[in-house]
Structure 1
Amino acid sequence: MTSKTSLTRSGWAIIVLSAAALALGGCGRKGPLELPPTASNTAPTAQATDSETERANQPSVFNPTFGSDATPNAPKGAKKSFILDPLLGN
């Protein structure tokens, strides 16, 4: 007699693949994005027009640099420890 609650091979395969995807999904380094090795660090020397300068100074969803020169509103809090800190080297 077979039980209806036992897992088949495909059931175990789904569980193992899901666990592997979750484990590998957390891999990576903390920090800003890095440029590809072939990219140069120099910015293009194109002159910005007045309308581009005005657009850069306006708040927008598509302007990630807006407010980057402003001071933060709230002070930084104390660093909270995390269980994986020894593994991550923090």
Structure 2
Amino acid sequence: MISKNRLTPSGWAIIVLGVSALALGGCGRKGPLDLPPTANVAPGAAPSDTETERAAQPSVFNPTYGSEAAPAAPRGNKRPFILDPLLGN
């Protein structure tokens, strides 16, 4: 008897794509775990940055960085767009 339970190339492709999607989905921010807001800092730990120092540092995870600065360029003239009537603009 011949078994029909062998994987075809498309079956292997699905398995490889699934495993690679799971592996890449586990990627995240590199570094130590974040402490809960109510956690106490260990006595031997280095002092942490204050909120003002943290706000002054550029970072991908700091959405408020540069919000106080003036815009780099003045606003241009409004140009019409094909979806303006649908968007109500």
User: Is the radius of gyration larger for structure 1 or structure 2?
Assistant: 2
Give the TM-score category using the shorter length.
0.3 to 0.5
Query: TM-score, normalising length from structure 2?
Result: 0.42
